[in-house]
């Protein structure tokens, strides 16, 4: 049993390393895209089955976004980002509950040892994926912040003149704000990565120790954790978006 | 860089994931969120419109029912008035007809009486003259002599009177 912090490489295309998480996230994206095509094709005014579920989820999320923004127009701008993050993260979290985790793979000889390289690994258990989503999330926060309240006002949140009212305190707070923007990226990516990676390790260990019945509660726990982490990621993005688009109250 | 390498962060993979996610975001926005949200909006509007329409129809129906009632009431009242008028007229007509009838009857009776009287008088005169003649003739036969024509008549008339 070999557990690696980094995603395991499966093969190489030129200098590009293709890892199992990359394959997983590509498959996941394809599934989501195909599902969305089917949805668009079958979209009817009177909903049925699949469309009902999707509409229910989307409406619930839209209401959630509305409850934060209190503004339908802004909600419609935030909604795609938040919803996509939620869908992608929750599904990539749930990859780990697919049977075959840590067992199906190819044997590779590495430095004289035979290592099993698994095919299935949660996309979220790879820092590249979580960091990518965190970067996109923070990028949209900055971008929409600037687009909504203007670059000068937005920059005014971070660069405060030491000669103005709270004087040096204001400047210091502005500096902290800059650091917190970078901290957002790190906390986003490591929170999700840590949770899902830990869950996956837990599941692999449990499956190896007691293969029958005992891992079941942990599987349910991982379903729950996957949902919570996706919700946290999406909600935090939403809140950061809202905060960035509100003018600083000095 | 060593740390990033240990954590498995790889610039190319990171870029691939970013691109992957952005493509996903774009496609979902285009094919899922847009149409679904539009559909939701459309449905909300349609339902609202339907409810409003039904409310309007209900109101209109109520109005019409009310109007109908009013019209019926008015028609009934009018009919009542017409019937009453007709009755009054008929009563008045009846009285006048009866009166006229009576008048005419009376007139007829009076006329008849007059005629009878005349007839009677005429007959009387005729009878008188005839009787006088008869008496004169009888007297003549009895007496056997003829009285003076003028005296005779005078006498007879005095007798029969």
Residues of A in contact with B42 (CB under 8 A): 45
Residue of B117 and A151 predicted with greater confidence: B117
What would the pLDDT profile of A61-95 be if each residue is shown by its tens digit? 888 888 888 888 888 888 888 888 898 889 888 88
What's the pLDDT tens digit per position in B10-36? 777 888 888 888 888 888 888 888 888
Verify whether the Cβ–Cβ distance A40 to B7 is below 8 Å. Answer: no
Let me know the angle formed at the C-alpha of A162 by A161 and A168, rounded to the nearest 5 degrees.
135
Q: What is the pTM of this model?
A: 0.70
Residue A6 C-alpha from the chain's centroid: 17
Average pLDDT rounded to a whole number, residues A198-227: 85
Sort strands A113-118 and A105-110 into parallel, antiparallel or unpaired: antiparallel
Given a cut of 90, whether residue A96 has pLDDT beyond it is no
Nearest-angstrom CA–CA distance, A40 and A52:
13
Mean of the pLDDT values across residues A182-189? 89
Instruction: Give chain B's mean pLDDT.
Output: 86
pLDDT mean across residues, chain A: 83
Q: Which residues of B touch A (CB under 8 A)?
A: 6-10, 12-14, 16-18, 20-25, 27-29, 31-33, 35-37, 39-40, 42-43, 46
Give, as one character, the DSSP assignment of residue A7: P
- Domain locations in chain B as residue ranges: 2-160
Residues of B in contact with A40 (CB under 8 A): 31-32, 35
In this prediction, residue B145 has a pLDDT band, given cuts at 50, 70 and 90, of low
Question: Cα dist. A135→A132, A157, A247 in Å?
Answer: 5, 20, 23
pLDDT tens digits, residue range A119-134?
778 888 888 888 888 9
CA nearest B43 in A: which residue? A45
Task: Quickly list DSSP for chain B.
Answer: -HHHHHHT--HHHHHHHHHHHHHHHHHHIIIIIHHHHHHHHHHHHHHHHHHHHHHHHHHHHHHHHHHHHHHHHHHHHHHHHHHHHHHHHHHHHHHHHHHHHHHHHHHHHHHHHHHHHHHHHHHHHHHHHHHHHHHHHHHHHHH-SPPPHHHHHHHHHHHH-
Instruction: Tell me how long chain B is.
Output: 161
Q: What confidence tier does B39 reach under pLDDT thresholds 50, 70, 90? A: confident
Please tell me the predicted confidence (pLDDT) of residue B52.
95
DSSP three-state, residue A71: coil
ipTM: 0.80
Q: Is the pLDDT of residue B104 over 90?
A: yes
**pLDDT tens-digit profile of B73-88?**
999 999 999 999 999 9
């Amino acid at each position: 049993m070999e557990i690696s912090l980094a995603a395991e490489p499966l093969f190489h295309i030129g200098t590009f390393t293709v890892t199992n998480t990359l394959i997983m996230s590509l498959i996941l994206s394809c599934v989501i895209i195909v599902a969305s095509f089917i949805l668009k094709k079958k979209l009817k005014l009177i909903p049925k089955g699949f469309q009902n579920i999707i509409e229910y989820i989307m409406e619930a999320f839209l209401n959630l976004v509305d409850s934060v923004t209190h503004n339908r127009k802004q909600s419609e701008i935030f909604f795609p980002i938040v919803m996509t993050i939620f869908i992608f993260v929750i599904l990539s979290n749930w990859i780990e509950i697919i049977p075959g985790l840590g067992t199906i793979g190819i044997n590779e000889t590495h430095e004289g040892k035979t290592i099993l390289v698994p095919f299935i690994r949660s996309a979220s258990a790879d820092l590249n994926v979580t960091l990518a989503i965190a970067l996109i999330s923070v990028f949209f926060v900055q971008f929409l912040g600037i687009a909504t309240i203007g670059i000068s006002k937005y920059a005014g949140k971070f660069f405060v003149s030491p000669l103005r009212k709270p004087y040096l305190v204001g400047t210091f707070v502005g500096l902290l704000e800059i650091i917190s923007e970078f901290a957002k990226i790190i906390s986003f990516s490591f929170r999700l990565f840590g949770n899902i990676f830990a869950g996956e390790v837990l599941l692999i260990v449990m499956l190896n120790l007691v293969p029958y019945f005992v891992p079941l509660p942990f599987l349910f726990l991982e379903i729950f954790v996957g949902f919570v982490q996706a919700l946290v990621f999406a909600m935090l993005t939403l809140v950061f978006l809202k905060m960035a688009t509100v003018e600083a109250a000095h | 860089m060593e740390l990033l390498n240990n954590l498995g962060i790889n610039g190319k993979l990171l870029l691939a994931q970013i691109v992957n996610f952005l493509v996903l975001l774009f496609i979902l926005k285009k094919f899922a969120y847009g149409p679904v949200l539009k559909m939701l909006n459309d449905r909300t509007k349609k339902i609202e419109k339907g409810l409003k329409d039904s409310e309007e129809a209900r109101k209109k129906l109520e109005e019409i029912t009310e109007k109908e009632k009013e019209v019926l009431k008015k028609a009934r009242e009018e009919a009542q008035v017409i019937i009453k008028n007709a009755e009054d007229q008929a009563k008045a007509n009846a009285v006048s007809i009866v009166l006229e009838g009576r008048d005419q009857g009376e007139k007829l009776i009076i006329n008849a009486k007059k005629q009878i009287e005349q007839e009677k008088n005429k007959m009387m005169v005729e009878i008188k003259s005839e009787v006088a003649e008869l008496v004169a003739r009888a007297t003549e036969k009895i007496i056997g002599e003829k009285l003076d024509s003028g005296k005779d008549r005078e006498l007879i008339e005095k007798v029969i009177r």
